[in-house]
Amino acid sequence: MPALAHPFRHFAWRLALPCGLLTLLGACQPAPEPAWSGYAEGDYVYIAAPVAGTLRALPVQKGQNVAAQALLFSLDDQPAQAARAEADARLDTARHQADDSAKGRRRDEIAVTEAQLAQARAQAERAQTEWQRNQQLVNQSFVSRSRLDDAATAARQAQDRVDELQAALRVARLPARSDEQAAAQASRRAAAQAREQALWREQQAQQYAPAAGLVADTFFRVGEYVNAGQPVLALLPPERRKARFYVPEAQRGALAPGQAVSLRCDGCGAPMAARISYISPQAEYTPPVIYSNSQRARLVFLVEALPSPADALRLPPGQPLDVRVDVSAEARP
C-alpha cells in the first residue's frame, strides 16, 4: 500500500496543477458588463379633430406607414362650409358699410340737392325783386304797408331756403362722422375675425399626419359620428419609440442621462445604439414583465433610452430587449 500511495499523490498533484491554473486565469478575466432586461415601448400620437362631425373618409388603415402631411381622415364639413360662406357675406357687408361711411352721398343725390338749391335761389331772387318793387309802390302810395311786409317775409323765407339747401349740399359731400367711421371699421374687423374662425373650423375637418410614422390603430369607421377632441387613430412616429428597462438599485449610480447603451433583441439583427434619456427618480419593485426569483425582492429604477429613428423602426412595441452599457461608444471621443 505505501508503494501505491506515492504514484497516486503524484497523479493528483499533476491533475490539480492545471485546474489551479485555470481557476487563476478565470479570476484574472474582467467582469462582464452588466446587462438588464427590458422591452420596447412607443409614445403614441392620438390624432383628433377639435370639431365634431361624421367621419367621411379614412384613407389609411391600421399597420400602414404614412408620410408626413399625409391625409389621415376627414369629417363632414358641410356645416363648416355654410358657416364660412355666411361669415364671408357678413364680412362683405361690414366692408361695404365701412367704405360707405368714408364717402359722401351719391352723385345723383347731390345733383338733386343742387337742383333744389338752384330753384331756391331763383325763388329768392324773385322774392327779393318783388319786395323791392313793393317798396317803391309803397313810397308812391300805390300799395299798402301790409303788402310790403308780406313781400319782405317771402324774401326772407326764400333766402332761408337757399341757406338750408347750401348747408344740406355741404353735408351731402361730407363722409360720416368720425365715431360712425370708427364703429364701421370695428364691425369690419369683427367680421374678418369671425370669418377666420369659420375658415379654421372648416380646415380642422381634415387632419394630416404631423410626422411620418406607423398607423398603430384606428378607432372609428367611415359613417360614424366623432365628437370633438375624440381620437380617430393612433400614430407612432419612429422618434417616439424607445427602450424601457429596469436597473437594480446597486447599479443605478453608474448610469446618467445621455449615456450610451446597446440594445439587442431576437431577430433584430445587429445591436442598436441608444442613449439614456430618462432615469426615474423613484425606486420600485421589479415589474412582473422581467420577474425572476433572484430579482423578486430587489428595488429597481426605470430607465428609458432612445435609439436613432432608423434603428427605432426595428423595435416594435412590446419587443423584449437585452440592454448593456455600450463600452465602445463611451471610449470614442
Q: What does the pLDDT look like over 184-225, one tens digit per residue? A: 788 888 888 888 998 999 899 999 999 999 999 999 999 999
Domain spanning 88-198: CATH superfamily: Helix hairpin bin (1.10.287.470)
How would CATH label the architecture of 35-43+238-331? Beta Barrel (2.40)
Question: C-alpha distances in angstroms, 160 versus 69, 121, 163, 270?
Answer: 74, 10, 5, 104
Report the 10 Å Cβ neighbour count for 163: 12
Residue 7 CA to residue 12 CA, distance in Å, equals 9
Q: Low-confidence residues of the chain, pLDDT below 50?
A: 1-5, 8, 11-13, 15, 21-22, 24-25, 27, 291, 296, 331, 333
Domains 45-76+203-236 and 88-198 share a fold: no
Q: What is the pLDDT of residue 213?
A: 94
pLDDT at 104: 61
Per domain, the residue ranges of the chain are 35-43+238-331, 45-76+203-236, 88-198
pLDDT at 287: 59
Classify residue 185 as exposed, middle or buried by CB count within 10 Å of its CB (0-12, 13-18, 19+). middle
Q: What is the pLDDT of residues 40-80, one digit of tens each?
A: 999 999 999 999 999 999 999 999 999 999 999 999 988 88
Q: Assign residue 302 a region (left: φ > 0; alpha: ψ between -120 and 50; beta: otherwise).
A: beta
- Tell me the C-alpha distance between 75 and 125, whole Å: 76
Report DSSP state, residue 212: S
pLDDT given at position 1? 45
pLDDT given at position 294: 54
CA-CA distance, 312 to 15, in Å (whole number)? 53
CB-CB contact of 134 with 144 (8 Å): no
Q: What is the pLDDT of residue 296?
A: 46
Residue 75: per-residue pLDDT? 95
Provide the pLDDT for residue 98: 78
45-76+203-236 is classed in which CATH architecture?
Answer: Beta Barrel (2.40)
C-alpha–C-alpha distance, residues 238 and 256, integer Å: 23
Burial class (CB in 10 A: 0-12, 13-18, 19+), 60: buried
Helix (H/G/I), strand (E/B), else coil: 102? coil
Calculate the alpha carbon distances from 85 to 96, 192, 196, 199 in Å.
Answer: 17, 12, 11, 9
